[in-house]
Amino acid sequence: MKGKSQGDKSLSNARCRLTGAFTIIEIIMAIGLIALLTSVVIINVDSIFKAFDDRPLSVVLKEAVREARFQSAKTKQQAYLEFDWESSRLLVKGSNNAILNEFPTGYPPEDPLLSITLYQLTPERGNSATRRFGSARRPVPRVTFDPDRSSTPFEVELKYGMEESLHRYDPFSDTEITKDESS
């Protein structure tokens, strides 16, 4: 009897050890489920952060200028940058007027406090050092970017409420030449 009870105990211990482990299929399914949940969370977190994107208007403008230059070089056609007040977005459009990319300003559509005005800088006489910042300009509905990555000389006036700033860009790069801020 002693032998049988010892054998029963060892068999019982072996069963306990076998039933306490996971099979390879269960492990693979658990890893797959974790990967699926992780991808869903990452996608949702990204969209949540984009919804609460609180970048300054000048940063959004610089990204839009950079994208317009890139799209004109990529498509080898002119690209245009314009502000759509109804949607409160800066739009990069192709030569066929199709929207290539859009940049939300973070302000509500048709906000009466928001104003983004594009100006073409016109040639003027005299030394550039003696000219007043933004003196020879005319408002334009959009700025043109050529496939060689150049643009018409332009500056952009950003206003929201009492805050305003003026940004002049180099016609051959997305570098901001001068920035005049006032509040």
Phi, psi of 146 (to 5 degrees): -90, 160
CATH code for 57-182? 3.55.40
The domain limits of the chain are 2-51, 57-182
Output the tens digit of pLDDT for each of the chain's 183 residues.
455 555 556 655 655 555 667 889 999 999 999 999 888 877 776 666 555 557 788 889 999 999 999 999 999 999 999 999 899 999 999 989 999 999 998 888 888 889 999 999 887 655 555 445 545 788 999 999 999 888 888 999 999 888 889 999 888 877 888 666 554
pTM > 0.85: no
Residues 6+ apart with CB under 8 A from 103: 60, 63, 64, 67, 89, 90, 91, 92
Residue 52: count of CB within 10 angstroms of its CB: 7
